[in-house]
Amino acid sequence: MTRISFQTEFRHALADIERTALDLMRRQREVSSGRRLQAPSDDPTAAAAAVTEHGALAALDRYEQAGSSVEARLRLVDTVLSDIIEQLTHAQAVATGALGDTPTQAQREAAAMELAAIRDALFADLNTSFRGVYVFAGTASTTAPFVRNADGTVGAYQGNASTIAVDIDRGRAVRVTFDGGALVQGSDPQDVFGILETLRADVLAGNTPAIEQGIAALKRVFDRAVQLQSEVGADQKALEIGAVRLTTEKLAARKRLSTLEDANMAEAISAMNRAETAYSAALGAAARLTRPSLMDYLR
């Protein structure tokens, strides 16, 4: 019976050594890494909550990255729309200067040349691309929305009416491509390039009623450009507000994650010291248990 009792106590002693050694190692890792959660088994409830927080942070990071890309695109679109509006304003002014019988033929020819230059500037603006994506081609974003004909005129819109939108937050998407056809033509019978070509001919011919109609058509294109720029500006403002909110949410998520995963160093060091004391005690108990006694020599 004595031998069985000794074997049982010895196994218990070894188990205590193993248990306290593992606890000491865990506490030492906690202190050295500064992390309380090394494995899900350390705290299953906290580990599950940490997984949720990591997922939330990953989603916020994706929205933040998407927002940065969208902001750069919209800044470009806003700049291009500003130039389009400026070109349309200039075109109206040039056409207005050609009204009536006062302008000479040379002045009319000069005005027609200016309108051609405006046409070319608008052609370049509306074919603007961002990282290989044509922003005014709708979802046909790899196709130039406008092409030049052999005679220098501009062909029909090559894009489509759909647009590409990017999620910048939960339930919030922002357009990054636009329907160039709706901008340059809308419900008018001609697009802006056709309007300018017709207006050039009318200016050369001194056709005042037709010039006035052309000016009115340019004004409608101008109004659509201003409206689109207002929408882009609203999206830019939403991006600014969203960026602040995302930053706030990320800070809150990181704080919650720190509470779940990071160690309280004062408590961790105290726990490590207790684990070291328990381990030393287990080793001492095992040493005393295996020490030979007088009865061992008498047997």
Q: What is the reported pLDDT for 2?
A: 46
Q: What is the pTM of this model?
A: 0.73
pLDDT in tens, 73-85: 999 999 999 999 9
* Residue 223 tokens, joined: 């109004």
Mean per-residue pLDDT for 27-36? 65
Instruction: State the chain's mean pLDDT as an integer.
Output: 85
pLDDT band at residue 205, thresholds of 50, 70 and 90? very high
Q: What is the reported pLDDT for 32?
A: 65
% of the chain with per-residue pLDDT over 70: 81
| pLDDT at residue 298 is higher than 60 | no
pLDDT in tens, 104-134: 999 999 999 999 999 999 999 999 999 999 9
Mean per-residue pLDDT for 187-208? 96
Beta bridge partners of 262: 35
pLDDT in tens, 144-161: 999 999 988 999 999 999
Neighbours of 264 (CB within 10 A): 13
pLDDT band at residue 16, thresholds of 50, 70 and 90? low
Q: Which CATH class is domain 79-255?
A: mainly alpha
Q: What is the reported pLDDT for 58?
A: 86
Better-scored residue on pLDDT, 59 or 126: 126
Instruction: Name the least confident of 14-23, 106-115, 286-295.
Output: 286-295
44-97 vs 208-261: helix crossing angle, rounded to 10: 170
CA-wise closest residue to 191 among 156, 224, 243, 160:
156
| Domain map (residue ranges) of the chain | 2-34+263-298, 79-255
Q: What is the reported pLDDT for 51?
A: 81
